């Protein structure tokens, strides 16, 4: 069983800031992490490998420094890693990215058939959730999005059962392989790499694929990078933060007791149910 996991290195959004004048994201000094949803995807893939054996290949498209993300994935237990990196890919939107990734996966398939492609439901920097479906479509794979749990995989029957979070409930879906799965932040937590895997990741001869090596021929050059990206960013702005209405409560006496009474009175007026509940419990 061969699973390809698509990951992306993203700026840690918890630490990101928007430039006050240009409104662009200031990446300088912001640590780069693996997109958290992709980590769930990777862990899900590694668990399947633990159960059924097989190979997990991690790929990413990005600048040379994305190597760090791949090495990290290797340390968790991925078997191989490919960095798809070329200036020609710069400026890609989701359409161009899915074209490039699909092409690279086709190249991988030449050496070893791919049974499943796993990826996060979306990245935390773009938040589009379009690349996964785009890759599935181009590779003509079954598509399972928003998967919270892989229930079972039967390699001999080429069959997968997943739980998919949908509006109003959870769907249990079964489909045939090969398929592409986009993973939610489910109930799995990324494992803590063991030391032999840390050594293996540090020494792994990472593959770096240029556009040609990723199987993109000259005729298709208009389908990748900025040229292959119909998305136009017309305006970027930082929304003004909504201010919650706050009220200063003061009492003339300054006595904490009076203050407490005032606060409670205000609270009970706004939420009468709370008062009833307290009164009930007090009995």
Residues that bind other proteins (CB under 8 A): 29, 31, 192-196, 198-199, 202-203
Q: Considering beta carbons, is residue 143 or 198 the nearer one to other proteins?
A: 198
Q: Considering beta carbons, is residue 21 or 249 the nearer one to other proteins?
A: 21
- Partners of 83 in beta bridges: 60, 208
Q: Considering beta carbons, is residue 21 or 232 the nearer one to other proteins?
A: 21
- In the three-class reduction of DSSP (H, G, I as helix; E, B as strand; rest coil), residue 100 is classed as helix
Question: Whose structure tokens read 């799965």?
Answer: 181
CA dist 178 and 184 (Å) reads 20
Q: Considering beta carbons, is residue 124 or 160 the nearer one to other proteins?
A: 124
User: Shortest gap between Cβ of 5 and other proteins (angstroms)?
Assistant: 20
Residues in the chain: 283
Q: Considering beta carbons, is residue 199 or 271 the nearer one to other proteins?
A: 199
How is residue 233 written in tokens? 């960013």
CA dist 178 and 119 (Å) reads 14
Assess contact for 206 and 83: CB atoms under 8 A.
Answer: yes
- Smallest CA-to-CA distance from 79 within 178, 201, 257 is with 201
User: Shortest gap between Cβ of 30 and other proteins (angstroms)?
Assistant: 11
User: Shortest gap between Cβ of 200 and other proteins (angstroms)?
Assistant: 11
User: Shortest gap between Cβ of 196 and other proteins (angstroms)?
Assistant: 5
Q: Considering beta carbons, is residue 28 or 283 the nearer one to other proteins?
A: 28
User: Shortest gap between Cβ of 14 and other proteins (angstroms)?
Assistant: 14
How is residue 52 written in tokens? 């059924």
- Smallest CA-to-CA distance from 60 within 12, 24, 108 is with 108
Assess contact for 144 and 175: CB atoms under 8 A.
Answer: yes
Contacts of 25 (CB under 8 A, 6+ apart): 11, 16, 17, 18, 19, 125
User: Shortest gap between Cβ of 29 and other proteins (angstroms)?
Assistant: 7
Q: Considering beta carbons, is residue 202 or 238 the nearer one to other proteins?
A: 202
User: Shortest gap between Cβ of 198 and other proteins (angstroms)?
Assistant: 5
Half-sphere exposure of 113 (CA within 13 A, CB side): 8
């Amino acid at each position: 069983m061969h699973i390809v996991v698509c990951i992306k290195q993203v700026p840690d959004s918890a630490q990101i800031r928007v430039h006050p004048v240009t409104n662009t994201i200031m990446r300088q000094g912001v640590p780069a992490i693996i997109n958290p949803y992709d980590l769930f995807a990777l862990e899900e893939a590694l668990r399947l490998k633990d159960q059924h054996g097989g190979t997990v290949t991690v790929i990413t498209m990005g600048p040379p420094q994305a190597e760090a993300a791949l090495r990290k994935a290797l340390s968790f237990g991925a078997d191989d890693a490919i960095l798809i990196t070329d200036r020609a890919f710069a400026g890609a939107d989701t359409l161009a990215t899915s074209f490039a990734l699909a092409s690279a996966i086709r190249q991988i398939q030449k050496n070893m058939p791919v049974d499943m492609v796993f990826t996060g439901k979306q990245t935390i920097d773009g938040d589009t959730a379009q690349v996964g479906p785009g890759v599935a479509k181009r590779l003509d794979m079954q598509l399972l999005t928003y998967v919270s749990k892989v229930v079972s995989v039967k390699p001999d029957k080429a069959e997968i059962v997943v739980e998919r979070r949908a509006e109003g409930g959870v769907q249990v879906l079964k489909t045939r392989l090969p398929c592409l799965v986009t993973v939610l932040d489910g109930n799995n937590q990324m494992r803590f790499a063991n030391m032999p895997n840390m050594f293996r990741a540090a020494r792994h001869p990472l593959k770096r694929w240029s556009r040609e090596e990723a199987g993109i021929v000259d005729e298709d050059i208009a389908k990748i990078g900025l040229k292959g990206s119909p998305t136009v960013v017309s305006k970027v702005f930082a929304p003004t933060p909504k201010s919650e209405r706050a009220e200063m409560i003061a009492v003339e006496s300054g006595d904490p007791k009076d203050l407490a009474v005032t606060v409670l009175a205000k609270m009970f007026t706004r939420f009468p149910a709370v008062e009833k509940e307290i009164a009930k419990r007090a009995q």
